[in-house]
Amino acid sequence: MKHWIFATNNAHKLVEAKDIFSNFAEIISLQEIGFNEDIDETEDTFKGNALLKAQAVFQKSGLPCFADDSGLCVDALDGKPGVKSARYANETGPVDHALNNQKLLQNLSGVENRNACFKTVICAVGFEPEPLFFEGVVYGHIATELRGNDGFGYDPLFVPQNYHETFAELGSVIKNTLSHRWMAMENMKKYFSK
Ligand code: IMP
């Protein structure tokens, strides 16, 4: 079995990755390799930030490693919050998902076009001479009120295409077969299955 480090401190993402890559690769967390530095996401693209995180962990560990960067892009807000999704409501302070959702609802108050998508870019370093990139996108719309308790971030507001429920109502089992991160990881899996 291959051993791949997933450069994330997000417990939800780690569970998702272990699930998606089960029987394919053993996913090792940053905690397991004793990496506890904070990596500042200073780039202004998902691709740039994913590369930054994967490279930082690869340089320290010397082991094949992948990182993702994701966010919510809302049509009526010119693609915002985008790469700033985590700190939409609180640019310099701690990540506050409840405040982010509140701000999003306020900014879309009375707006008819509520189309949005979640995007993920994964960067994998240490597998090939050059970094590899894999993308995933899920389209949908922003609900007019918070619904559901599962998941994290904007999940209580995001309704994927062909569904009426939000990601937070659908729950992780369904979300993990539809999500932007799932799609990017599936693309990565396909690449390594060749
Ligand atoms: P990250 O770069 O993947 O950590 O994502 C940045 C931010 O985007 C998160 O803090 C969330 O606000 C939002 N986000 C990314 N993926 C998801 C998701 O699957 N559900 C809800 N929010 C998400």
Is 86 touching ligand 1 by the criterion CB < 6 Å? Answer: yes
For the entire predicted model, the pTM comes to: 0.93
**Which CATH number fits the domain that encloses residue 38?**
3.90.950.10
Looking at residue 151, its pLDDT comes to 87
Active-site residue identified among 19, 38, 69, 78: 69
Is 101 touching ligand 1 by the criterion CB < 6 Å? Answer: no
Residue 48: CB partners within 8 Å, gap ≥ 6? none
173 token code pair: 């089992």
Count of domains in the chain? 1
Looking at residue 117, its pLDDT comes to 98
- 153 close to 103: Cβ distance less than 8 angstroms: no
Task: Write b or e for each residue in 134-155: b if 16 or more Cβ atoms lie within 10 A of its Cβ, otherwise e.
Answer: bbbebebbbbeebbbebbebbb
pLDDT tens readout for residues 103-112 = 999 999 999 9
Pocket test for ligand 1, best of 152, 155, 170, 185 (most atoms within 8 A of CB): 152
Is 157 touching ligand 1 by the criterion CB < 6 Å? Answer: no
User: Distance between alpha carbon 113 and the CA centroid of its chain, in Å?
Assistant: 24
Respond yes or no: is residue 69 known to be catalytic: yes
Looking at residue 47, its pLDDT comes to 98
Is 140 touching ligand 1 by the criterion CB < 6 Å? Answer: no
- Spans of the chain, pLDDT less than 70: none
Q: What domain range includes position 41?
A: 2-193
